[in-house]
Amino acid sequence: TRPFTVLGIESSCDDTGAAVVRSDGVILGEALASQGDIHEQWGGVVPGLARDAHEDAIDRIVDLAVERAGFSSIQEIDAIGVTIGPGLEICLRVGATKARELAQTFQKPFVGVHHLEAHILMARLPLEEASPSTATTNNFVFPATDLVHETVRTMQFPFLALLVSGGHCQIMKCLDIGKYSIIGGTLDDSLGEAYDKVARLLGLPVGGGGGPAVEALAKQGDPTAVPLPIPLRNRKDCDFSFAGLKTAVRRAAEKICDTEMDGNLEDLLTDQDKANIAASFQNVAIKHIEQRLERAMKMVEQEEQEQGGSKIRSLAVVGGVAANQELRARLETLCERCSSSQDNDDDEEDRWKMFVPPPRLCTDQGSMSAWAAIERIMVGSTDDPTSRDVYARYP
Ligand code: KG4
Ligand code: ZN
């Protein structure tokens, strides 16, 4: 069958994204308007301002993506997908309304995309940009022209996924499109939120997410300088918690400044103190992720020994925080470690393999909506464009 093209739109939070993606995984054109500057002064996303910014940007971003893809009209595109939840309701509505209008005007098949499924499915997107020589951490990276080979296509179901974003922190068993079972979630904050809160504490830029600034600063610091507790280390499940760690970071910062005053810690800390705090926080946060994930991986192996069923040895790492280089490197090492503890570690089938989208496709953008729609269309699942529903919460 001939490849088809999908226009994807994303407006669930503070990024207005659009992209045209082809069903063989080639991203033909994309455009993104981020609202970092708008929310910076408020220290977080202000929904009303976000909606206004989406409304200002949506037409231009869609036109730009279509134009960059080399199309002169949406008529030439085969289908339309858009995030319909979870997210900020008034923001979701901007993208959803635009996409539904386009689908009806141009009489195109329509898919309402689940944002978390879209993050996860990005780990299955075959990419054209990287050459096989760069495929060290990314088994699916190869020229898209090789796509005809089913064996190298992408990560296959079933697989395990770690979803770490601003809104979520979960471990899931991914069985098929639309079929996921959650085996661990967060008891309080997400990992992205923890990064954002530490960024705020250290006076780093938080508009559009504080994670990249914390990651950059951590590179200058000593990850063992500030002692912090690893959350839930004795709990025998796969859940996460970051609220205690965030408080411990604040306490540690106050101790360094010898003050218990609220507020302006950022002025009292030296640059080296801040770097050490950032590095120590990141180190412990990732240790927590490693511990929970290792438990999940062992659980999956055990279940399979007891109950049989198809083997899971693929780990997808997705969501905004998956852009973090330290997290990527450490989880790659975790996969190696878990593989070598196997009895028959020569057996390729028993080795854990990590699949992670390139950093710019980990955070929110239009390609994720387009690719998720493609995956849904390929299993024959589309939606009614005349519905007006969006879902702030979307199980
Ligand atoms: O997936 P995403 O773009 O939006 C949601 O669906 O939530 O994730 C945004 C989150 C923010 O908390 C941001 O600080 C974090 O991802 N993030 C990072 C990095 N890049 C983005 N956290 C740590 N290191 C990064 N490099
Ligand atoms: Zn997201």
Global pTM?
Answer: 0.92
Return the CA Rg of the chain. Answer: 21
Q: Is residue 189 part of a domain?
A: yes
93 Cα: distance to centroid of ligand 1 (angstroms): 22
Q: Is the CB of 319 under 6 A from ligand 1?
A: yes
Atom of ligand 1 nearest to the CA of 119: 1
Alpha-carbon span 369 to 242, nearest angstrom: 29
Instruction: Kindly report the average pLDDT of the chain as a whole number.
Output: 91
Contacts of 180 (CB under 8 A, 6+ apart): 117, 120, 161, 172, 173, 174
11 Cα: distance to centroid of ligand 2 (angstroms): 10
| Closest residue CA from atom 13 of ligand 1 | 209
**pLDDT tens, residue by residue, 43-52:** 789 999 999 9
Which domain, by its residues, includes 206?
159-355
pLDDT value for 40: 87
Same domain, 206 and 294: yes
Write b or e for each residue in 215-238: b if 16 or more Cβ atoms lie within 10 A of its Cβ, otherwise e: bebbeebebebbebeebbeeeeeb
Same domain, 232 and 340: yes
Q: Is residue 132 part of a domain?
A: no
**pLDDT tens, residue by residue, 124-176:** 998 654 434 333 333 333 334 433 333 345 899 999 999 999 999 999 999 99
Tell me: pLDDT of 342 over 70: no
> Looking at the CA of 357, which ligand is closest?
1
Closest by CA position to 3, among listed 100, 144, 161, 214: 144
**Substitution site in 34, 116, 165, 369 for ligand 1 pocket (most atoms within 8 Å of beta carbon):** 165
| Closest residue CA from atom 22 of ligand 1 | 211
pLDDT value for 244: 97
pLDDT value for 260: 61
> How high is the ipTM of this complex?
0.99
Same domain, 171 and 121: no
Report the domain count for the chain: 2
Domain with 340 in it: what CATH number?
A: 3.30.420.40
Same domain, 198 and 240: yes
Same domain, 374 and 315: no
The stretch 259-273 carries a mean pLDDT of 81
> Looking at the CA of 214, which ligand is closest?
1
